[in-house]
Amino acid sequence: MNSSMKRLLNIGALCLLLHISVVLAAKPGTSARVDALLKTMTLDEKIGQMTQVDYDAIKLNPSDIEKYALGSILWGGGSEPDNIKPQGWADICDSYQGFTQKTKMKIPLIFGIDAVHGHNNVDGAVIFPHNIGLGATRNPKIVEQIGHATAVEMQGTGIQWDFAPCVAVARNERWGRTYESFGEDPALAKELGAAFVKGMQGSRLSAKTSALACVKHFAGDGGTTNGKDQGNTEVDEATLRAIHLPGYVEGIKAGALSIMVSYSSWNGKKMHGNKYLMTDVLKKELGFRGFLVSDWAGIDQLDTASYKNAIMLSINAGLDMAMIPNAPKQKNNYVDFIAYMKELVAEGKIPVSRIDDAVRRILIVKNEMGLFEHPFRDKALLAKIGSKAHRAIGRDAVRQSLVVLKNEKNILPLSKKLKNVIVAGKGADDIGMQCGGWTISWQGKSGNVLSGGTTILQAIKHTVSKNTEVTYSADGSGATGADAAIVVVGEEPYAEMIGDRADLHLSKNDVDVIEKLKATGIPVVVVLLSGRPIIITDVIKDSHAFVAAWLPGTEGQGVADVLFGDYKPTGKLPHTWPKDMTQIPISAGDKKSEPLFPYGFGLSY
């Protein structure tokens, strides 16, 4: 190479570096930065921005963030760092973000996580009631507060993107994700989903205490036949629009800039390949200007025989970012995705214009989030995780969410001065059962799964007089001499897929505990922990009072507040409560026999 050629190459390289510097220094909030970036980016860099990799898939090769100019990392499906305390999460995020600063374009990562009821993968975070309980509050203000508190706790660990709110309208209680829905009425999804977006994103998305919301799962996931997870929603378009789209319409109006696509199908067509709904309706008709992300390996289901063809179908239908959980040596991994994307563009099967549209949407969101100016976390926010202020919000949400279904002879509220109270049932002293699924692990589990928070038993002990004796037995034994019994029963933790159930009756063990205490002749108060209405028609006859507490999270004190009169119950049913399994599915207005309790039912004192 002669000296003239070398000088030209050096000048060219210098011009490129100067151009990139100008691009990165461009005024935030304008499209100039994004347009300039797109002109400078290679195809590889653009595809990298469309690639979201799971932590478990990349933790052995984090330098791939730099190598492939990746756009996003997520934690999902049970992937988490070895240290799940706040500092452990923060260290990983700072470390991974550092790789982006070594790339030519220095485009920051956006980290995503399912913080669906608080920052629920972090030990020490406040776990709020699941959405079904928030639906019972009918209170957008408390939902907005929860959205903000969750954003602050997320940002404390360096994670800036929440795969929430879920605005599914659950129409069949067999569905294992019923508790992720605000209720059976699309009005709840509209009002409360929008409130969460506003709380999460704040008045300014670039604020250090704001995070990106992700409305999900588009669309119709709550209406599948027989309540089957990832199933088929068989309704006409008018019904789809009336029931399952309003949450997205209001979420977009509230400023949501990301939406997750559903695994489910609409009349046999998978959502991940539905161009009409993703592009024509969502992006064009509704004016959604953010980006669409797939669910966990969601594109794979479009063509199980050919991953390459599945990619083509989904990207051309309007998907902007692909969530890829698999490591390089596994099937359908992120390295394959990138290679196939390049081939598809070269073959003319995915237009460059579609790539540019997807990347432009992603970069616009990153720009509006202020990630170019502040890619790393604000270390001062770490101390906000699990704070007293956030626990107070959680407690308030819990007591607003409780629905009193029965209160015979006004036994509630209980006196704090009773001489002896027996607390029974498997859920009374179980923080994991209180929280339900999506708590530390994907499916959740019973037991002492996290630090912080208050079980219902602990809350009762904190509430009653110092002279009141509180005894606990899981099976209800030892009730002789007690003035009243509080029995906490219900569903053990579960999440998507595993949570689908054909039979929603209360377990035999739970029924046995209630019957044993009824036989003593003392007043029996039943507290039900569940992610949906459970068949309790016979059991409720054996109780003097019955309270639906849903999945309240870590702040069990809110339950005791209602039981002992520190808060007058205000919760109203977000679902029609069936008498038996033959009534399911049942919703308000159905021409069926009378339910056990109608939609909106709830007693007060």
Question: What's the mean pLDDT in 78-88?
Answer: 95
Confidence label for 30 from pLDDT (cuts 50, 70 and 90): low
Sheet holding 291-293, edge to edge: 215-218, 258-261, 291-293
Decide: 583 and 174 in contact? Cβ < 8 Å. no
pLDDT at site 592: 82
Confidence label for 6 from pLDDT (cuts 50, 70 and 90): very low
The predicted-structure confidence for 235-288, as pLDDT tens digits, reads as follows 999 999 999 999 999 999 999 999 999 999 999 999 999 999 999 999 999 999
3-state secondary structure of 547: strand
pLDDT at site 567: 98
C-alpha to C-alpha distance for 453 and 351, rounded to whole angstroms: 52
Amino acid residing at 580: D
Phi then psi dihedrals of residue 451, to 5 deg = -95, 155
Q: Which of 151, 113, 150, 111 is CA-nearest to residue 129? A: 150
Name, of 26-30, 570-574, 587-591, the range with top average pLDDT: 570-574
The predicted-structure confidence for 450-499, as pLDDT tens digits, reads as follows 999 999 999 999 999 999 999 999 999 999 899 999 999 999 999 999 99
Q: Domain-by-domain residue ranges, the chain?
A: 19-383, 402-583
Amino acid residing at 393: I
pLDDT at site 161: 98
Helix axis angle for 140-157 and 186-201, nearest 10°, is: 40
Q: Please check whether the domain covering 402-583 is classified as CATH 3.30.70.360.
A: no
Going by C-beta distance under 8 Å and a sequence separation of 6 or more, which residues neighbour residue 237?
A: none
Sheet holding 51-54, edge to edge: 161-162, 110-113, 72-75, 51-54, 322-324
Bridge partners (DSSP) of residue 469 are 420
Amino acid residing at 168: A
Q: Which of 493, 496, 473 is CA-nearest to residue 485? A: 473
> Has residue 14 got a pLDDT over 60?
no
The predicted-structure confidence for 111-150, as pLDDT tens digits, reads as follows 999 999 999 999 999 999 999 999 999 999 999 999 999 9
| CATH superfamily of domain region 19-383 | Glycoside hydrolase, family 3, N-terminal domain (3.20.20.300)
Instruction: Annotate 171-209 with three-state secondary structure.
Output: CCCCCCCHHHCCCCCHHHHHHHHHHHHHHHHCCCCCCCC
C-alpha to C-alpha distance for 423 and 563, rounded to whole angstroms: 12
Question: What's the mean pLDDT in 408-431?
Answer: 98
What DSSP line would sit under 465-481, residue for residue? -TT-EEEEETT----TT
* Catalytic residue numbers, as ranges: 295
Buried b / exposed e across 210-243, counting CB within 10 Å, b at 16+?
bbbbbbbbbbbbbbbeebebbbbbebeeeebeeb
Amino acid residing at 565: G
Q: Given its phi and psi angles, is residue 478 left (phi above 0), alpha (psi -120 to 50 degrees) or beta?
A: left
Q: Which DSSP state fits 446?
A: S
Question: What's the mean pLDDT in 92-111?
Answer: 97
Question: What's the mean pLDDT in 293-303?
Answer: 98
> Has residue 537 got a pLDDT over 60?
yes
pLDDT at site 77: 82
pLDDT at site 78: 85
pLDDT at site 293: 98
Which position has the token pair 């019904």?
Answer: 239
Opening angle at CA 517, ends 516 and 519, nearest 5: 70
Where helices occur in 318-437 by DSSP H, the ranges are 334-346, 352-368, 388-401, 431-435
The predicted-structure confidence for 40-76, as pLDDT tens digits, reads as follows 999 999 999 999 999 999 999 999 999 999 999 999 9
3-state secondary structure of 523: coil
| Mean model confidence pLDDT for the chain | 95
pLDDT at site 20: 43
599: how many CB neighbours lie within 10 A of its CB?
18
Opening angle at CA 547, ends 544 and 551, nearest 5: 150
* Cα-only R_g, the chain: 26
pLDDT at site 23: 44
Share of the chain above pLDDT 90, in %: 93
Give the pair of three-digit tokens for residue 287: 């004016």
C-alpha to C-alpha distance for 228 and 231, rounded to whole angstroms: 5
> Has residue 9 got a pLDDT over 50?
no
Confidence label for 593 from pLDDT (cuts 50, 70 and 90): confident
Q: Given its phi and psi angles, is residue 490 left (phi above 0), alpha (psi -120 to 50 degrees) or beta?
A: left
pLDDT at site 31: 83
Decide: 400 and 570 in contact? Cβ < 8 Å. yes
**403-407 and 545-550 beta bridge pairing:** antiparallel
pLDDT at site 12: 44
Give the pair of three-digit tokens for residue 157: 């660990």
pLDDT at site 418: 98
Confidence label for 543 from pLDDT (cuts 50, 70 and 90): very high
> Has residue 602 got a pLDDT over 50?
yes
pLDDT at site 158: 98
